[in-house]
Structure 1
Amino acid sequence: MTADDYSFGTTDTTHGNDQREEYRLTGRVRVWIELESAVPEHGDSTRRIEASSYDVSSAGLRVGVAETLTRGALLPVTIALDSHHSTFELMAEVVWCREVPGDGLQAGLRLVESDETAYLEWMEAVARAMEEN
């Protein structure tokens, strides 16, 4: 992640519904959301969707999604921050999901500290990006 890839601050297109506790980096990251886990004994495969980010922080992100996410659901997510292929396997709670006029379906995800995820590494990467700005 480089300073040129992100800007610092908040841009709110949620029209008065901003409940953020932290500044966010406005920029694009690649996000994959796991909707259904594989069941190996049934030969199932994992079902993921790719989401487009609007902004990110150490605590969460706002993404554009192709289908409705259930509020309160805990979903595994993978986030790729930069062209160096740094990816972070994290757990996210769906805080909200709604249609935003002119922008399509969006969701707010809160990142949850969880064992066997890259939560601390994610926090450090976002802190470095904010320092660069």
Structure 2
Amino acid sequence: MDEDYSFGREASVPDGADKREDYRLSARATARLNVESAEPIEFGDEPLEAFVRTCEVRDISASGMSLVTIEPLRAGSLLAAEINLSAQKKLLRLTVEVMWSKEEGSRYLNGVRVFDSDETDYLSWLEAVAEAFSGPE
């Protein structure tokens, strides 16, 4: 089994940005964020996803995650997200709120909080995080 998660805290988390009360795990995962609310644009027979951004997940906790992006996310924004944790077989559809964004070299580190919503995979998210914390059996 791949070791997708490790305990610890990234040294590069910006000062003052770490306000989570939960433990966190470093993770190899990706996220797709709908950064603007718009109808899909059709080009020929294929829809274009001009408003979807793919980014790296730096770490996860039950209440949120850190995302690495090429442009800052606006604090206070509510975004639809699809998270692909490598240990999961399916994408987890979540609603996240951007809590902060800090420049880190040529990229940005963004802290997001996961919302509990009936129309998302929130319970599956909690189960996936719990499973990651429990480690391989």
TM-score by length of 1: 0.85
- 2:10 alignment counterpart: 11
Aligned CA distance change for structure 1 residues 103 and 14 (closer, same or farther; 3 Å): farther
More off after superposition, 80-89 vs 54-63: 80-89
CA distance in 2, matches of 1:103, 1:27: 21
- How many residue pairs are counted as aligned between the two chains? 130
Identity among equivalent pairs (%): 35
- 2:26 alignment counterpart: 26
Code of the residue aligned with 1:131 in structure 2: it is: S
Code of the residue aligned with 2:127 in structure 1: it is: E
SS at match of 2:111: strand
- 2:76 alignment counterpart: 72
Q: Which runs of 5+ in 2 are unaligned?
A: none
Q: Please say if residues 10 and 23 of structure 1, whose CA atoms lie closer than 8 Å, have aligned partners that are also in contact.
A: no
Q: Which runs of 5+ in 1 are unaligned?
A: none
Q: Please say if residues 37 and 45 of structure 1, whose CA atoms lie closer than 8 Å, have aligned partners that are also in contact.
A: no
Aligned CA distance change for structure 1 residues 119 and 113 (closer, same or farther; 3 Å): same
TM-score by length of 2: 0.83
- RMSD (Å), alpha carbons: 2.2
1:4: Cα distance to partner? 1.1
SS at match of 1:19: coil
SS at match of 1:106: strand
Please point out which of 124, 132, 137 is paired with 1:121: 124
Aligned CA distance change for structure 1 residues 122 and 97 (closer, same or farther; 3 Å): same
Code of the residue aligned with 1:120 in structure 2: it is: L
CA distance in 1, matches of 2:12, 2:108: 12
